[in-house]
Amino acid sequence: MVAKKITSKIIIYILLIAGVVLSIAPFYWMIVGSTLPSGEIFRVPPKLLPGDYLAKNFQTLNESLGIAKIFWNSLFIALVYTLVSTLISAMAGYAFAKFKFKGKNVFFFIILCTLMIPSQVTLIPLFEMMVTFNWLNTYQAIILPTLASPFAIYLMRQNMKAIPDSIMEASRIDGAGELKIFFTVILPVTRPAMAAVGIFLFMSQWNSLLWPLITLNSKEMFTLPVALSSLIGMARIDYGQLMLGTTLSTIPIMIFFLLLQKHFISGILGGSVKE
């Protein structure tokens, strides 16, 4: 029995470590690549250890892209988007979870349906709309169209349902207004869920490519994915710089996730997991 337990533990660990290798190895090569000059990336056999070209790659990449500005763009857009979108989805999620009203099911069905709309369908008309508003190449063009995220609303609704009605009733008896109840009672108790939704929204905006690619024109406005994609596909890609750009866009979001993952995981399903 004991021996069997040990073997099963060993098997589990072998599988776990295999999973770790598959998850981490590509990141390792990404980092190695960013420390090599282009010429050395394409060698047989490939280099498996970091080189000393990191500073040079950074310098050239920075000269051509202006890394600080691009970082700021990505960060600003993702941050504003996350704050506003989380609030909107919390409000909608609250209404769907805790109120009865005419058309509720229809509205909710619509939300589920919008999950299925391929982005290509709305891409061109949306773009023309941005032109009409004279919004091309602005932050709000990136932020506004996806603020009402159906997935976020769905998650918020799932979480809000777990709140006992008694809390709201008690406040109502105290004579509190509905908005006050929402802000002072509901939001504080759903903080884990808001954190999870917020992290989800932040990551999706940080990584978003297609829409910013079409609406942003100038280098000064580019977000990280757009700047990266502008480096691919041209005749003269410098692989070392490309890898460095990838590393720079990836590391912050990884750190962001590592710092907040506890909230993310506990919030994503309404605290059904006890840590």
Subset of 200-239 contacting other proteins (CB under 8 A):
203, 206-210, 213-214, 217-219, 221, 224-225, 228-236, 238-239
- Taking residues 18 to 37 in sequence order and writing x for each that binds other proteins by CB under 8 A, - otherwise, the string is -xx-xxx-xx-xx--x---x
Residues 6+ apart with CB under 8 A from 78: 202, 205, 206
- What residues numbered 163-182 form the site for other proteins, per CB under 8 A? 165, 169, 172, 178, 182
Tell me the CA end-to-end span of the chain in Å, nearest whole number: 29
Residue 127 lies near other proteins (rule: CB under 8 A): yes
CB of 2 to other proteins, least distance (A): 15
Q: Which is nearer to other proteins, 71 or 107 (CB)?
A: 107
CB of 96 to other proteins, least distance (A): 7
- Taking residues 103 to 122 in sequence order and writing x for each that binds other proteins by CB under 8 A, - otherwise, the string is -x--x--xx-xxxxxxxxxx
What DSSP state is assigned to residue 272? -
* Distance of alpha carbon 44 from alpha carbon 37, whole angstroms: 15
* Distance of alpha carbon 40 from alpha carbon 26, whole angstroms: 18
Residue 139 lies near other proteins (rule: CB under 8 A): yes
Give kind and range of the element (H or E) at residue 21.
Answer: helix 2-34
Q: Which is nearer to other proteins, 35 or 246 (CB)?
A: 246
The candidate with the shortest Cα–Cα distance to 37, out of 18, 54, 17, 14, is 54
> Which segments of 99-148 does DSSP mark as H helices, in order?
104-114, 119-132, 139-143
CB of 81 to other proteins, least distance (A): 9
Among 51, 54, 71, 147, binds other proteins (CB under 8 A): 147
Size of the site for other proteins (CB under 8 A): 136
- What residues numbered 44-103 form the site for other proteins, per CB under 8 A? 44-46, 48, 60, 63-64, 76, 79-80, 83-84, 87-89, 91-92, 94-96, 98-101
CB of 51 to other proteins, least distance (A): 14
Tokens encoding 105? 């099911």
CB of 53 to other proteins, least distance (A): 11
Per-residue DSSP letters for 136-171? TTSHHHHHGGGSS-HHHHHHHHHHHTTS-HHHHHHH
The candidate with the shortest Cα–Cα distance to 242, out of 41, 52, 23, is 41
